[in-house]
Structure 1
Amino acid sequence: MKKIAILPFIMLLAGCQSITVLDPKSSTGKEQAYLIWFSLAIMAIVLLVVFILFTRFVIRYRYTEKKAEFIPKDVKGNLKYELTWTIVPFLLLAVLAIPTLKITFNQSPETEAEANTNGIHINVTAEQFRWTFEHKNSKTVHNELIIPENKDIVFHLISKDVIHSFWIPELAGKVDVIPNKELTYVIKNAEIGEYDGKCAEFCGIQHANMTFDVKVVSLDEYNQYLNQSSNQAIKKKHSNINGLVRSVRHESINLW
């Protein structure tokens, strides 16, 4: 029984890790975190007012011996109060809606026809159970994403099988990756560092293993990474050709 009683406290340890969504490392993530904190602040104000009124009513209108036979006046309504609790919530919702609509509209995934032509473009293919990233020089890597800092990174997202969800908590929010429909999503001004990416949509038995590593580097390092990849591919191609030539020569010598 004592062991069972300890379980709730052990489960609380899961909350010891910081919420990376609230520690953003990109302009895109900072805008999303701003909306979270802003809505939380409005909620806190409303909650505070409700608790103050609740406490006031409990104390002022509590039962006492003096009020045992008190009969309050019959009130038909109060226009001032009714206007207040109608207009104030409307104003609060309007204040919250303006930045929400603006940021949500600017960050919404777009179709290929609407895609931003500026920035660095990377093709992202999701499939059970891995991510494939293809850079502009046709460099293809699985489960590892390297991008430059302070640039607009335009991701072309598509799925080969089921619906997945592209998510890098510290850089940007979740975006659904849909089969046979390419969507583009932009992450702006990422800061140098190493981050975790994952699929945020249950996609099968190994969903928990569908993760990828993200590394944000300087633009020079990124260009070196692309050039190094290209040079290695060329060397590998030449090595294969040379090996084939040597093999043909060897066979020719054996024939004679």
Structure 2
Amino acid sequence: MNKRVLSFFVIAFLTGCQMRVLNPKSDTADTLTNLIYLSFGIMMLVLIIVFVLFVYFLRKFREKGEAKFNIPPDEKENKWLEITWTIVPVLLLAILAVPTVKATYDLTSKVSGSAGGSKGDAMIVEVVGQQYNWKFTYENGKESYDELVLPVDQEVQFRLTSNDVIHSFWIPNLSGKIDVLPGKVTKLSFKPRVEGAYQGKCAEFCGAEHTLMRFETKVMSQESFENWVQEE
């Protein structure tokens, strides 16, 4: 019975996984995915080293024969060993921190337009999160609900706010999460580079019908986008 219940939840979980995080389709998503891979690589390196040392010491110092009745002598301090296991974590953190800080600065510059950011060339989309839908307003005043349409290879800057509670704007293939706050405008910028349809959602529990806070993002050619945005 337990196996059947476990299988049910596994199948239910897998069938609900339609949003792929590590499948970047924009410049911003590329940057974030590379950081995830870097941190995962560092984690796996540490895990492998610890596991190998664990197995080695387990075999070397296991109790056997008469040794199991002997009390081992106290180990004296080893300064070089202590220095090593102090410096190595610092180096690993530095390896992760440097690209993370650089990526954060670059992404912030894109939104603010500083340090060579592309704010002046970006298409502006106003986003309003509300219980329980998303409203998108384009530069010519056109509005759409729960459907975001973007041109490929065009920098897009989103100005996000909420009409009620805190939401979280997230398109896994195109960008990271950003909070959408009532009474405040937050900004997000990315350039989609592959045409297609991508699922977006609210990543912050915002009420009883939170599951309805999903939307579809359609990335199309510049010509197709211009035709769409001019349609009534």
Q: How many residues align?
A: 227
Q: Which residue of 2 aligns with 1:171?
A: 174
Structure 2 contact 19–199 (Cα < 8 Å) conserved: no
Moved more, 30-39 or 9-18: 9-18
Q: Which residue of 1 aligns with 2:103?
A: 103
Shift in CA distance, 207/98, structure 1 to aligned 2, threshold 3 Å: same
Provide the rounded CA distance (Å) in 1 between the counterparts of 2:106 and 2:29.
13
**2:9 is matched with which residue: 8, 11, 14?**
11
Provide the rounded CA distance (Å) in 2 between the counterparts of 1:109 and 1:202.
29
Shift in CA distance, 82/19, structure 1 to aligned 2, threshold 3 Å: farther
Deviations 1:142-194 (A, max 9, x none): 11110001111100101111100001111111110001111111012331000
Q: Which amino acid in the other structure matches residue 216 of structure 1?
A: V
Provide the rounded CA distance (Å) in 2 between the counterparts of 1:118 and 1:23.
26
Q: Which amino acid in the other structure matches residue 91 of structure 2?
A: L
**2:160 is matched with which residue: 154, 157, 162?**
157
RMSD: 2.2
1:80 equivalent to 2:80? Answer yes
SS in 1 for 2:46: helix
Percent identity between the two aligned chains: 38
Provide the rounded CA distance (Å) in 2 between the counterparts of 1:73 and 1:162.
63
Alignment of 1:75-224 (within 5 A): 75-108=75-108, 116-224=119-227
Moved more, 100-109 or 123-132: 100-109
Provide the rounded CA distance (Å) in 2 between the counterparts of 1:118 and 1:160.
28
Report how far residue 212 of structure 1 moved.
1.0
Provide the rounded CA distance (Å) in 1 between the counterparts of 2:19 and 2:166.
25
State the TM-score, normalized to the length of structure 2.
0.90
For structure 2, list consecutive stretches of 5 or more residues without a partner in the other structure.
none
Shift in CA distance, 125/179, structure 1 to aligned 2, threshold 3 Å: same
1:59 equivalent to 2:62? Answer no
Provide the rounded CA distance (Å) in 1 between the counterparts of 2:109 and 2:167.
14
Deviations 1:189-246 (A, max 9, x none): 331000111111111111101111110001111111122x2xx3xxxxxxxxxxxxxx
Provide the rounded CA distance (Å) in 1 between the counterparts of 2:113 and 2:214.
29
Structure 1 contact 26–187 (Cα < 8 Å) conserved: yes
Which of the two has higher C-alpha Rg?
1
Report how far residue 75 of structure 1 moved.
3.0
Report how far residue 19 of structure 1 moved.
5.7
For structure 1, list consecutive stretches of 5 or more residues without a partner in the other structure.
233-256
